[in-house]
Structure 1
Amino acid sequence: MAKIAFILLCHKDPDAVIKQAQSLTAVGDYMSIHFDASAPQAAYDKIRKGLADNPNVTFPKRRLRCGWGEWSLVQATLNAVEAAVEAFPRATHFYMLSGDCMAIKSAEYAHEFLDRREVDYIESFDYFKSDWIKTGWKEERLIYRHWFNERTQKKRFYAAFNLQKRLGLTRRIPEDIEVMIGSQWWCLRRRTVEWIMDFCKRRPDVLRFFRTTWIPDETFFQTLVRHLVPEHEIESRTLTFLMFTDYGMPVVFYNDHYDLLLGQDFLFARKISPEARELKRRLGVLYASEGVRFQISNEGRSLFKFLTGKGRIGRRFAPRFWETESTLGRERELLIVVCKKWHVAKRLLGRIRQLTDIPCIDYLFNEESCALPDLGGIQSTMGKRHRHRRALMRMLFDYFESDRLIVCLDPANLDLLEDFCGDRAVTRLLEIECQFSDAYLVGHAMRVGLAGDRTPKETLSRLLPTIRNDMVHESDRIRDANFDNHLRVRETDPPEINAMALAAFLGLEEDKARAIAETEHLFAD
């Protein structure tokens, strides 16, 4: 049975630290606490006194003043790990925590989870090839030396960097290591931790390198684990659930997030609000519980992205000069079918192909797998299709040797509609209005990752109105744009009414349009 030694780095709220330690060690696990030396001595003394009678708690011999982006965070972790290795010989796993973390599963579940596989859990991605660093410095973190704290000594930090850059004072990465990067929240096996401690004694050159690396807590352990442990024994993920806003700030969890947190495929979560007392109480009780079964839906991150995206609708790509200065062709007709239910639009296009000779393409700007001819690579990725939208459409007109072309778009693609409808070409828009049952909305939520097979019914009931309103909002935005030649086919209208819109949209005789409108099971889910 796994026994966990928690490595806790904290700097405030001694009462919360005591409660956290008591909760996690009550089931037989251990904890090594590094309390920042910058915090008041009285706070540290309170923690020592409050946990003095707990044999499953230890403290490193030396406390450090820690700063964001500094080596001090790594050294504090090493000190706490060393203390845990020495004090708890029965510990099988070492789990990094902060004072803002709490368990979102029971200890029973956590131990069984760790016993399933003989692996280390740590994000470990190639530093230079991965996109883990989204913006800002990358190579500069490593090849220049960083002696000062970027937040508290900003002038010195950038002065030292600019001087090195101007004089060309770069350094080489140790040749036998491949730098990796990932989250600082990891869970390592005892053997791996012992290998790391031994490596630190044998390789002072590597430690010297990381001591002046910027933000080494994202690279030090990640690099050493990959260097020391066989690849098949590394699970490149964290077991701590955390999310960040668009502004790079951690998402904070409150009392009403209890059910959401329990459904995530993680053992702990960060950050729990200090004010979320009820959430902390319930999670504390949960950790000591036995026989609890968890329904893992794991939709937290996609759900957060969906909900926070409301009100931030804008164009993803700025128009390039070759797009703004070009046209699809004044004599050409682009016919756009807009429908949220993709299978309905595809069914309609299938019937149009049978009864007309107009080239039809499905959701080329929404589905990577959409069947497209080879156009020299411009069609190869979704990003290229969006960036070179007009060039792509011109090439498709040329490929089919036709001045008429039908494509499908999702209602969310308002930027594409605005671009194409503003072209000199003749553009007609056919919006298909469908009915959305609760069952369909649940299926849609699962398809786009907002929910899973095990998402609680209570979560779905709260989510469905938001999804439904989102679809209505997309349709309203299209109407508010006042596009010319905007026609509608409605599920609630009889075929003879829909046939009139189809005839105007396709430029067909009424009988052919009626045959299309009467397509069998056109609106069926």
Structure 2
Amino acid sequence: MAKIAFILLCHKDPEAIILQAQRLTAAGDYIAIHFDARAKREHFDLIKEALEDNPNVAFSRKRIKCGWGAWSLVQATLYAVEAAVDSFPRATHFYMLSGDCMPIKTADYVHDYLDDNDVDFIESFDYFESDWIKTGMKEERLIYRHFFNERTQKWRFYAAFNFQKKFGLAREIPADIQVQIGSQWWCLRRQTMEAVLEFTRKRKDVMRFFRTTWIPDETFFQTIVRHLIPEAEIRTRTLTFLMFTDYGMPLTFYNDHYDLLLNQDFLFARKISPEALELKERLGNLFAASGVRFQISGEGPSLFRFLTGRGRIGRRFASRFWETESAFGRNRELKIIVCKKWHVAKRLLASVEKHTDLPSMAYLFNEESSPLPDLGGIQATLAKRTRHRRALMRMLFDYYDTDQMVICLDPSSLDLIYDFYGDRSGTRMLEIQCDFSDDYLIGHANRIGLVGAQTPKETLESLLPTIRQDIVHESDKIRDGNFEHHYRLREKDDYEAHVVALTGFLKSSEEKAGKVATVNHLFAD
């Protein structure tokens, strides 16, 4: 059975560190601790005194001062790893943790998971080909030497960087390694960890290189493991659940996140708030429990994006300079059907196609699979369609050689509606307002990936009011836009009212609008 040596880097909250070590070792696992030399000596003495009689606890042979983005974090990890390898010969896995991490599964579940998956778990994406780094330095992290800490010695950091850049002092990356990048929260098998330590002793050139790279904790182990271990034995993921805010800061979990954490497909989570004492106690008790069954739904990230996105006002895409003159044409008219229930809009669109000669496209800005003609690649992805939306629509008008066209949009695409109404062409909109049952809303949440098949009923019930209000809010924002030629076709209205709305929207006769309105089971789910 798997036996884990946890590698713990910490710098504060000694009481919590003691509890964490006691809980993890109570299940028969091990822990090797590096306590930052910047922290108070009395805090380290408190930890060491409380744990010195525990044979499953080891301390790194040397304490060093750690700084964000610096080599010291990797060196501290290596010191703790060396202590774990030497002290715990029965350890089969080495799992990187921080003082803010807590288990979100039982010890039995964790051990069984590692037994069933004889691989290394570490994020390791190609440094140059992946988009793991979103902003800031990329190549410069590696090809220039970084001797100073960017946060504590900012002036020296950038002075040294600019000096090297000005005088062309870039260096070569070691020729036989392919630099990788990823999260620093990994779980590696013993044979892998021993191979890494042997590599650090033999390859002094690689060690010198990484000692002066910037933020090496995101590249060192990720690169070395990928260099030493066959790809088939690596899972490019972390087993620690963590999320980041829009500002790049780690999301903190509190007492009311217990159920959400247990449902995620991870073994540990960070970061747990120091004030979340109830959550820490419950998770600590969970780790020691047995016979617990978990419903893995994995909806954490999608829930977070959904809930934090509510109430925000603004356009997702600003105007691009190359689209300023990308008008459809003054004599052209775009007709937009807006409906949250896509199948309802598609049924009506099929009737429009049947009884008129208008070219039409369903949800081309919301649905990747929406069929479109080849327009030179601009239609290839949703991102391209949305980014070049005016140019795309002008090309579609030209392709079909028409002055009128019908498309469908989701009500959430308010920025597109504003943009199309801002064009010099004519625009008309038909908003289909449907009724929404609880079952439909649950199905909708499943379709958009907000929840999963295993999401607990209590979570679904708590989300329903938010989802329903979100749909109402989208409709209210459309109404607040005071768009010209805005017609509404309501599910609760009768056939005659539908004909009136369609007559105005299509600018057609009542007879033709009546034929379009004759759709069997238009609003059926």
TM-score, normalised with respect to structure 2: 0.99
Opposite residue 497 of structure 2, the aligned amino acid is I
Q: Which residue of 2 aligns with 1:48?
A: 48
2:73 is matched by which residue type in structure 1?
L
Amino acid at match of 1:208: R
Query: Cα deviations across residues 126-185 of structure 1 (Å, max 9, x unaligned)?
Result: 000100001100000000000000001111111100100111100000000000000000
Q: Give the corresponding residue for 2:451.
A: 451
Matched, 1:223 2:223: yes
Separation (CA, whole Å) in 2 of partners of 1:447 and 1:222: 34
Q: 1:496 & 1:518 partners in 2: Cα distance?
A: 11
**One-letter amino acid of the counterpart of residue 293, structure 2:** R
Cα distance in 2 for partners of 1:148, 1:467 equals: 49
Offset at residue 354 of structure 1 (A): 1.4
C-alpha RMSD of matched pairs (Å): 0.9
SS at match of 1:406: strand
Q: Give 1:34-73 correspondences, 5 Å limit.
A: 34-73=34-73
Return the offset for 1:240: 0.4
1:287-326 aligned within 5 A: 287-326=287-326
SS of residue matched to 2:94: strand
Separation (CA, whole Å) in 2 of partners of 1:89 and 1:354: 75
Shift of 1:512: 2.9
1:17 matched to which residue of 2?
17
**Range 290-299 or range 303-312, more displaced:** 303-312
Aligned to 1:126: 126
Match in the other structure for 1:208: 208
Q: Whole-Å Cα distance in 2 between the matches of residues 186 and 60 of structure 1?
A: 19
Please name the residue that 1:367 is paired with.
367
The Cα offsets for residues 296-316 of structure 1, whole Å up to 9 and x where unpaired, read as: 010001110111112333222
Instruction: Give the aligned partner of residue 266 of structure 1.
Output: 266
Using the TM superposition, name which of 161-170 and 320-329 deviates more.
320-329
One-letter code of the match for 2:353?
A: R
8 Å Cα contact 2:36/2:63 also seen in 1? yes
Tell me, what secondary structure is at the counterpart of 1:335?
Answer: strand
CA distance in 2, matches of 1:160, 1:321: 37
Deviations 1:324-381 (A, max 9, x none): 2232111111100001111111111111111111111011111111100001111112
Cα distance in 2 for partners of 1:315, 1:55 equals 59
> Where in structure 2 are the equivalents of 1:38-437 lying within 5 Å?
38-437=38-437
Separation (CA, whole Å) in 1 of partners of 2:16 and 2:62: 22
CA distance in 1, matches of 2:66, 2:448: 41
8 Å CA contact 1:332–1:425 kept in 2: the answer is yes
Could you tell me how far 1:250 is from its partner in structure 2?
A: 0.8
Contact 1:319 1:387 in 2 (8 A): no
Q: Is the 8 A contact 2:327 2:423 kept in 1?
A: yes
Which position in structure 1 is the counterpart of 2:498?
A: 498
1:112 Cα deviation after fit? 0.8
Task: For 1:313 and 1:232, locate their aligned partners in 2 and report how far apart those are by CA, in whole Å.
Answer: 46
CA distance in 2, matches of 1:407, 1:58: 65
| CA–CA distance in structure 1, aligned partners of residues 70 and 487 of structure 2 | 60
CA distance in 2 between partners of 1:118 and 1:516 (Å): 60
Q: What SS does the corresponding residue of 1:331 show, helix, strand or coil? A: coil
Which is further off, 362-371 or 211-220?
A: 362-371
Q: Could you tell me how far apart the structure 2 residues matched to 1:482 and 1:324 are? A: 23
Question: Percent of pairs identical after alignment?
Answer: 71
Q: Please list the CA deviations of residues 54-74 of structure 1 after superposition, one character each: whole Å capped at 9, or x if unmatched.
A: 111001111111000010100
Deviations 1:180-214 (A, max 9, x none): 00000000000100000010111011000000000
AA aligned opposite 2:145 = R
How far apart are 1:524 and its partner, in Å?
1.1
1:510 Cα deviation from its structure 2 partner? 2.0
Tell me, yes or no, if the aligned pair for 2:326 and 2:394 is still in contact at 8 Å. no
Whole-Å Cα distance in 2 between the matches of residues 229 and 321 of structure 1?
A: 48
Residue type of the partner of 1:126? D
1:486 aligns with 2:486: yes
Partner amino acid, structure 2, of 1:83: A
CA distance, structure 2, for counterparts of residue 449 and residue 35 of structure 1: 40
Query: What is the rounded CA distance, in whole Å, between the counterparts of 1:179 and 1:328 in structure 2?
Result: 47
Deviation per residue, 1:205-231 (Å, 9 max, x gap): 100000000000000000001000000
| d(CA) in 1 for partners of 2:66, 2:412 | 46
Residue 483 of structure 1: how far off its partner (Å): 0.2
Distance 1:290 1:261 in 2: 18
Q: Distance in 2 between matches of 1:101 and 1:448?
A: 30
Counterpart CA distance in 2 for 1:425 and 1:272 is 54
Between the aligned partners of 2:441 and 2:64, the Cα distance in structure 1 is: 53
Paired residues of 2:33 and 2:60 also in contact (CA < 8 A):
yes
Q: 1:511 Cα deviation (Å)?
A: 2.9
Deviation at 1:318, TM superposition (A): 2.1
TM-superposition CA deviations, 1:421-473 (whole Å, max 9, x none):
12221211000001111111111111111110011111111111111111111
SS, match of residue 66 in structure 1: coil
Alpha-carbon separation, structure 2, partners of 1:62 and 1:169: 34
SS of the residue 1:96 aligns to: strand
Which amino acid in structure 1 is aligned with residue 103 of structure 2?
A: A
Q: Which amino acid aligns with 2:188?
A: L
Secondary structure in 2 matching 1:290: coil
Task: Give secondary structure in 2 for the equivalent of 1:58.
Answer: strand
User: Partner letter of residue 450 of structure 1?
Assistant: L
Number of positions where the alignment pairs a residue of Structure 1 with one of Structure 2: 525
- Distance across 2 between alignment mates of 1:205 and 1:314: 51
Secondary structure in 2 aligned to 1:336? strand
Q: Distance between the aligned counterparts of 1:313 and 1:269, measured in 2?
A: 32
Aligned to 1:432, the other structure's residue is in SS state strand
**Counterpart contact for 1:496–1:517, Cα < 8 Å:** no
What is the TM-score when the length of structure 1 is the normalising length?
0.99
- 1:243 is paired with a residue of what secondary structure? coil
